[in-house]
Amino acid sequence: MPHDPCFFNDVPISSLGTEMAESHIASNDFEFPLVIRGSKNSLFGYLSPRDPTLAFRMWRIGILILITWVPLLLLAIVSGHASHGIVDVPLLHDPGLYGRFLFVLPLLELAELIAAASLTVQARQFLDSKLIPEQQHSRFDATVTDVIQLRSSFTTEISIAILAFCLATTFRLFLFPESSSNWEVHESVRSPAGWWYALISLPILFFFLLRWIWIYLLWSVFLFRVSRLDLQLSPTHPDHAGGLGFLGWGVASFSIVLMALSAMFSSGFYYEILHAEILHTKRSVYDFKYHMIVFVVIAIATLYAPLLVFFGRLSRCRFMGLLDFGSLVLRYDRKFEEKWIERKSAESDESFLGSSDIQSLADIASAYEHVNEMRLIPFDTKGFSVLIAAAVIPLIPLVATEVPLQEILKKLAEMMV
């Protein structure tokens, strides 16, 4: 008998708790190190533990700042480009630099804590929730192994590092040299701090960004291959996604990375607004409103794009559910009419008052409506709200360039009373 991707197992309710417990025990040893694997950890040698703690990551963030930010400051001080005097826009007055290396880079490192745990939970949930039948476990394990091998590939990590260096130097030295600040290039001569920024600091930042893009692509590949398995979806599942609702809130795993990207763009916009007179441009936050809107829309759409691979499965599950429950409702309606409407004796009227048939009719209709409201991709409102907040919060300081932050907070307080 061919498998229907949308069905109910004939399992007694009393045995469900036992099965779930056995499934949980069996999946306790499940590992999905998509985030923590890779040669980046080996940059710190054997001092890097298998599961870095928050304290260790804070130490690693300090090392990154010492490599990317501190040399820029010291070289700028030696060259006289750290404060006003020789250059119009000194290093200490460059908000883009603060944003990239004192906020964005630490966020990209700390994002591993949330993403590593969340992606592992989501991958394990396919097994815990019995979405994947036992005969498909070997294919699921093969998918996990292939993805983790790609993530752990030393060649891939080296390629990412080389690509990051090439992109950073090409963008900064050749494609967009005019975007360099005064502390980088003064009188057509690139300063020592400018060279360190182009050859060391910026490539490190690009390495982290490209590495997160690679993780996102591997997660997309994982979801695509899982979507091709014989998933056991349920049209009446309360998450309105056949049991895949955890993927809807799981998108928020990348919220910290999204916040880091938003902060990087925001600091760049703020630089142009803050030094508009020196740059001989008349810039305001209104000049960047479309840039911000396009960024938020593209970023959110990109994060939800991998979930589209379940569109076909969920569409068929919903369609089959509507057919099955539609037939069930029709059969029950006919029996109900035969019993209570076509019979008009006084005896039937008296028994009607204590009958549970009315409640059963309402329950069946409610189940049908539940199937009808099933979504075609996993989606969660709270997860979506987290992503919107992560993308918008770093952009708020730009609004403060036009309206004082004190007035914004005062207006928000007035709206609450």
Encode pLDDT of 254-291 as tens digits.
999 999 999 999 998 888 888 765 555 677 788 888 99
At residue 236 the predicted structure's pLDDT band, cuts being 50, 70 and 90, is: confident
Is the pLDDT score of 343 beyond 80?
Answer: no
For residues 3 and 6, give the distance between their C-alpha atoms in angstroms, rounded to a whole number: 9
DSSP state of 229: S
H/E stretch holding 223 reads helix 202-227
Question: What is the pLDDT at residue 218?
Answer: 97
The residue length of the chain stands at 417
For the cut 50, the answer to whether the pLDDT of residue 43 exceeds it is no
pLDDT exceeds 60 at position 241: yes
Q: What is the pLDDT of residues 55-77, one digit of tens each?
A: 888 999 999 999 999 999 999 99
Query: Global pTM?
Result: 0.85
Are 133 and 286 contacting, i.e. CB atoms less than 8 angstroms apart?
A: no
In a domain, 235, yes or no: yes
Higher model confidence: residue 342 or residue 191? 191
Q: What is the mean pLDDT of residues 83-89?
A: 81
Q: What is residue 45's predicted lDDT score, i.e. its pLDDT?
A: 40
Nearest Cα residue to 34 out of 208, 217, 162: 217
Which carries the bigger pLDDT value, residue 27 or residue 88? 88
Query: For position 11, what pLDDT does the model report?
Result: 43
pLDDT given at position 23: 45
Output the pLDDT for position 44: 44
20 band by pLDDT with thresholds 50, 70 and 90: very low
Q: What pLDDT, on the 0 to 100 scale, is given for residue 56?
A: 84
Across 223-250, average pLDDT:
93
Distance CA 198, CA 180 (A): 10
> How many structural domains comprise the chain?
1
User: Can you give the three-state secondary structure of 301-342, one letter per residue?
Assistant: HHHHHHHHHHHHHHHHHHHHHHHHHHHHHHHHHHHHHHHHHC
In a domain, residue 348? The reply is no
pLDDT of residue 182: 78
**Amino acid at the residue 225:** R
Q: Three-state SS for 9?
A: coil
Using alpha carbons, list the distances in angstroms from residue 7 to 38, 313, 323, 417.
Answer: 40, 13, 12, 51
Residue 345, domain member (yes or no):
no
The answer to the question of residue 361 being in a domain is no
What whole-number distance in Å separates Cα of residue 211 and Cα of residue 109? 11
Assess if residue 142 is contained within a domain. yes
Domain that residue 387 falls in: 20-316+378-415
**Dihedral over Cα of 353, 357, 361, 367: its sign:** positive
Question: Residue 18: CB partners within 8 Å, gap ≥ 6?
Answer: none
Identify the pLDDT of residue 126: 95
| Residue 261 falls inside a structural domain | yes
The answer to whether residue 132 scores a pLDDT higher than 60 is: yes
- Answer whether residue 193 shows pLDDT above 80: yes
pLDDT for residue 40 is more than 90: no
**Does a structural domain hold residue 349?**
no
pLDDT in tens, 161-186: 999 999 999 999 988 876 667 788 88
In a domain? residue 372: no
Whole-number mean pLDDT of the chain?
A: 83
Label residues 138-148 b or e (16+ Cβ within 10 Å = b). eebeebbeebb
DSSP conformation letters of 65-109: HHHHTHHHHHHHHHHT-SSTTSSSS-GGG-HHHHHIIIIIHHHHH
- At 207-220, the pLDDT tens digits run 999 999 999 999 99
173 and 180 Cβ atoms separated by less than 8 Å: no
